[in-house]
Structure 1
Amino acid sequence: MFEPFVDIVPSFFGWLNQGPMTLTIFLHTFIVLPMFWIYKQEKARLEKENH
């Protein structure tokens, strides 16, 4: 999954460009999981307003 890469500046984007798996892990960690958290938070807030 992780292969050594040579870059002028070893950067975050170079690491992301390793392959589909790296990108998938990144997206799930920083986008999908917070979306579930925000969804639960908003749902709780709406239920509190209605009752």
Structure 2
Amino acid sequence: MFEAFTDVVPSFFGTLNQGPMTLTIFLHTVIILPMFFLYRQEKKRLENEQ
């Protein structure tokens, strides 16, 4: 998944560009997993209002 990272300026986006799996794991942890948390939180809030 990770190869030798040789770049003039090692950056965060350069690390994500190592391969498709790295980007997929990053997007799931940053975007999709919090969506489940927010969904459950809002669902509980809506049920309590009724």
TM-score by length of 1: 0.94
| Alignment correspondent of 1:26 | 26
Quick one: distance in 2 between partners of 1:9 and 1:28? Answer: 26
Which aligned segments of 4 or more residues in structure 1 are displaced greater than 4 angstroms?
Answer: none
- C-alpha RMSD over aligned residues: 0.5
Return the letter of the residue paired with 1:26. F
TM-score by length of 2: 0.95
Consecutive unaligned residues of structure 1, counting only runs of 5 or more, are none
Quick one: distance in 2 between partners of 1:25 and 1:4? Answer: 19
**1:26 Cα offset (Å):** 0.1
Deviations along 1:13-39, whole A, 9 cap, x unmatched? 000000100000000000000000000
- Identity over aligned pairs, percent: 76
